[in-house]
């Protein structure tokens, strides 16, 4: 089957990185119909925490599908979904422990914004430049990682304001990390002073580690400073943990790297073991103001996704996945640091745990999105699938499965090394 023959039946809006038609996935590999094997460092965009078709997840899905696929969580209760909610509560920090299940990340973001408005009875939201939160109109409104995601959709949801995220691209040149932190916090204060009174702000929404925007790790002082501002003004802090959460940064939730507990967090991607699932998690007190019928879903909390989600957590627990992520993340970073020494076009290696990216730049320091595009193409020819990030598309993010081995990292970085060499020579 050739993608070209079917392309006309699909909307071009969904950008396609390759024309591969895949029939099978196993661990870190994808296979085409003809049996060609590709090393997958994308994993459904950081979805398959345990790789493709992990036997425990497959078993859980098959068993659950044979018993009950859905009867709507509105109408009746499903044991796997109840169990998953309890397990998320046990793993979540602070009082976070009350969950609303939905189907995809953007849907959870919309839910979190609605919850913050319902609880505070305030209209405004502050989000960050560089952030990505999804494609519904609500999630697109709070997204500012690329203007093309918003083009032609104006006017969007009202009363959304942006402050810069403390990345080097969004702050005045020459600032160090702490200066960027202070600058960005002062810009939130400026919003309060000039544009939106803090008592009108329902929530500040942030990715504790920025994903699509460039795998940017903010300074501790910034995340703690945002928490402090929220607490001072009765504003709810929402952490979008959809990409960074669920073990990827080496902690169960990315916010834990900063010792900060949000009031609401959104989960997605990894939680359904590859099936569509997302969640809004908050405290019983805040959730208590979301009265029956104020939000809803047909598919959310479906038992098959929940069974897969429980299998993911079973494996996390039985394999001490967080220790593994930290070890493999350190190993990967060390290997990438060697590549940085070797190639002057790699200007940065950054990240936490297995949420790691490298950045390509030209000799004059300008972003090398074109370098990445060439490297990506050669990587595909060499059977390695990669994904980029950042507004200029010059970041290469590693979204391997969390149970990745040294051997697989060696293979992938080896292909990358060879591909960069052929592009620059
Ligand atoms: C941080 C973050 N939030 C929200 C989303 C949107 O998730 P979905 O594509 O499942 O709607 C994404 C997707 O990449 C994401 O990375």
pLDDT, tens digit, 9 for 90 and up, residues 167-217: 999 999 999 999 999 999 999 999 999 999 999 999 999 999 999 999 999
User: Among 132, 228, 142, 235, which Cα is nearest to 185's?
Assistant: 228
DSSP assignment letter at 24: E
pLDDT in tens, 68-108: 999 999 999 999 999 999 999 999 999 999 999 999 999 99
Q: What confidence score (pLDDT) does residue 279 get?
A: 98
> The tokens 């802090």 sit on which residue?
237
What is the average pLDDT across 330-342?
98
| Protein residue with its CA nearest to atom 10 in ligand 1 | 105
User: Among 71, 66, 27, which Cα is nearest to 50's?
Assistant: 27
What lies within 8 Å, CB to CB, of 248 at 6+ separation is: 46, 49, 254, 270, 325, 353, 354, 355, 402
Q: What confidence score (pLDDT) does residue 425 get?
A: 85
Give first-to-last CA distance, the chain, whole Å: 35
> Which ligand 1 atom is nearest residue 104's CA?
10
Q: What confidence score (pLDDT) does residue 117 get?
A: 98
How big is the CA angle at 227 (ends 224 and 232), to the nearest 5 degrees?
A: 125
pLDDT in tens, 228-272: 999 999 999 999 999 999 999 999 999 999 999 999 999 999 999
Nearest-angstrom CA–CA distance, 308 and 275: 7
Structure tokens given for 271: 């939680």
pLDDT in tens, 377-405: 999 999 999 999 999 999 999 999 999 99
Give pTM, 2 decimals.
Answer: 0.98
In this structure, the strands spanning 201-206 and 236-240 are parallel
What lies within 8 Å, CB to CB, of 217 at 6+ separation is: 209, 257, 350, 351, 352
Nearest-angstrom CA–CA distance, 126 and 394: 27
Nearest-angstrom CA–CA distance, 178 and 180: 5
Nearest-angstrom CA–CA distance, 267 and 198: 26
Look at residue 266 and give its three-state secondary structure.
strand
What is the average pLDDT across 407-423?
97
Query: How far is ligand 1, taken at its centre, from the CA of residue 143, in Å?
Result: 10
CA atoms within 13 A on the CB side of 133: 32
Look at residue 306 and give its three-state secondary structure.
helix
Summary mean pLDDT of the chain: 97
Q: What confidence score (pLDDT) does residue 252 get?
A: 98
Nearest-angstrom CA–CA distance, 419 and 384: 10
pLDDT in tens, 114-157: 999 999 999 999 999 999 999 999 999 999 999 999 999 999 99
| High-pLDDT (> 90) share of the chain, % | 99
Nearest-angstrom CA–CA distance, 398 and 401: 9
109, 242, 280: residue to mutate for ligand 1 pocket, most atoms within 8 A of CB: 242
Residue 411 has pLDDT above 90, yes or no: yes
Q: Which helix (H) or strand (E) holds 55?
A: helix 55-67
Nearest-angstrom CA–CA distance, 59 and 400: 22
Q: Spell out the domains of the chain, with CATH numbers in brackets.
A: 3-40+320-424 (3.90.1150.10), 57-319 (3.40.640.10)
Q: Which helix (H) or strand (E) holds 321?
A: helix 321-342
Query: How far is ligand 1, taken at its centre, from the CA of residue 187, in Å?
Result: 25
Lining residues, ligand 1, CB within 6 Å: 45, 104-106, 109, 132-134, 207, 211-212, 240, 242-243, 268
17, 108, 134: residue to mutate for ligand 1 pocket, most atoms within 8 A of CB: 134
> Which ligand 1 atom is nearest residue 45's CA?
14
Query: How far is ligand 1, taken at its centre, from the CA of residue 39, in Å?
Result: 23
> Which ligand 1 atom is nearest residue 109's CA?
4
More confident residue, 339 or 1: 339
Burial pattern 140-179, b for ≥16 Cβ within 10 A else e, equals bbbbbbbeebeeeeeeeeeebbbbbbbbbbbbeeeeebee
Structure tokens given for 391: 């507004």
Query: How far is ligand 1, taken at its centre, from the CA of residue 52, in Å?
Result: 19
Longest Cα separation, the chain: 62
| pLDDT classification of 416: cutoffs 50, 70, 90 | very high
| pLDDT classification of 166: cutoffs 50, 70, 90 | very high
| Protein residue with its CA nearest to atom 3 in ligand 1 | 133
Query: How far is ligand 1, taken at its centre, from the CA of residue 131, in Å?
Result: 10
| Protein residue with its CA nearest to atom 4 in ligand 1 | 133
pLDDT in tens, 28-82: 999 999 999 999 999 999 999 999 999 999 999 999 999 999 999 999 999 999 9
């Amino acid at each position: 089957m050739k993608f070209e023959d079917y392309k006309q039946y699909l909307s071009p809006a969904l950008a396609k990185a390759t024309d591969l038609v895949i029939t099978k996935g196993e661990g870190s590999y994808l296979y085409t119909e003809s049996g060609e094997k590709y090393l997958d460092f994308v994993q459904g965009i950081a979805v398959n925490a345990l790789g493709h078709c992990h036997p425990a997840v497959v078993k859980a899905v098959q068993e659950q599908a044979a018993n009950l696929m859905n009867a709507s969580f509105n109408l009746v209760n499903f044991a796997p979904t109840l169990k998953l909610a309890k397990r998320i509560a046990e793993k979540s920090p602070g009082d976070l422990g009350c969950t609303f299940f939905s189907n995809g990340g953007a849907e959870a973001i919309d839910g979190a914004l609605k919850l913050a408005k319902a609880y505070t009875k305030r209209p405004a939201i502050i989000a960050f430049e560089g952030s990505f939160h999804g494609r519904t109109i609500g999630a697109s409104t709070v997204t500012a990682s690329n203007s093309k995601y918003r083009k032609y959709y104006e006017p969007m949801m009202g009363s959304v304001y942006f402050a810069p995220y403390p990345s080097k691209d969004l702050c005045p040149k020459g600032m160090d990390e702490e200066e960027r932190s202070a600058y960005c916090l002062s810009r939130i204060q400026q919003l309060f002073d000039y544009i939106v009174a803090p008592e009108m702000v329902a929530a500040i929404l942030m990715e504790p580690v920025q994903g699509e925007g460039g795998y940017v790790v903010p300074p501790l002082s910034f995340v703690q400073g945002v928490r402090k501002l929220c607490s001072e003004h009765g504003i709810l802090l929402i952490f979008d943990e959809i990409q960074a959460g669920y073990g990827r940064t080496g902690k169960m939730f990315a916010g834990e790297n900063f010792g900060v507990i949000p009031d609401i967090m959104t989960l997605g991607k990894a939680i359904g073991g590859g099936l569509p699932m997302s969640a809004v998690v908050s405290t019983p007190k805040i959730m208590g103001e979301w009265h029956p019928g104020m939000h809803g879903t047909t598919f959310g909390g479906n038992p098959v996704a929940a069974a897969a989600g429980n299998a993911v957590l079973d494996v996390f627990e039985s394999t001490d996945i967080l220790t593994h992520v930290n070890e493999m993340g350190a190993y990967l970073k060390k290997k990438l640091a060697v590549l940085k020494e070797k190639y002057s076009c790699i200007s940065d290696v950054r990240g936490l745990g297995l949420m790691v990216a490298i950045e390509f730049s030209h000799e004059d320091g300008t972003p090398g999105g074109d370098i990445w595009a060439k490297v990506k193409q050669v990587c595909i020819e060499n059977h390695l699938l990669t994904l980029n990030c950042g507004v200029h598309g010059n970041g290469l993010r590693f979204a391997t499965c969390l149970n990745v081995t040294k051997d697989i990292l060696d293979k992938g970085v080896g292909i990358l090394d060879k591909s960069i060499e052929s592009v620059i020579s």
